[in-house]
Amino acid sequence: MGTINETDAGGGRLQGKVALITGGGRGIGRAIAEDFKSEGATVVVADLDEYESGWVATLLGGSFLNLDVRDETQFETVLARIMADHGRLDVLVNNAGISGVGATFDEIIAINLRGVFRGCSLGLPLIAESGGGAIVNIASIAGSHGGFGDGYTASKHAVLGITKEMALRGARRGVRVNAVCPGYIETDLTRVMRSNERALETLLKQVPLGRMARPIEVAKAVTWLASDDASYATGTSLVIDGGWAIDGGWALREANGYLRDKN
| Identity at 54, one-letter amino acid code | G
- The angle subtended at Cα 28 by Cα 25 and Cα 31, nearest 5°, is 75
Which DSSP state fits 158?
H
Instruction: Tell me, yes or no, if 152 is annotated catalytic.
Output: yes
Taking 3-state DSSP, the helix, strand and coil percentages for the chain, each rounded to the nearest 5, stand at 50, 15, 35
Question: Cα–Cα distance between 80 and 201 in angstroms, integer?
Answer: 47
Specify which residues 185 forms β-bridges with.
213
How many residues are present in the chain? Answer: 263
Query: Rounded to a whole number, what is the distance in angstroms from the first to the last CA of the chain?
Result: 48
Write down the catalytic residue from 152, 184, 232, 258: 152
| Identity at 99, one-letter amino acid code | S
| Identity at 122, one-letter amino acid code | L
With CA atoms as reference, report the closest residue to 147 among 212, 203, 217, 218: 203
Residues annotated as part of the active site: 152
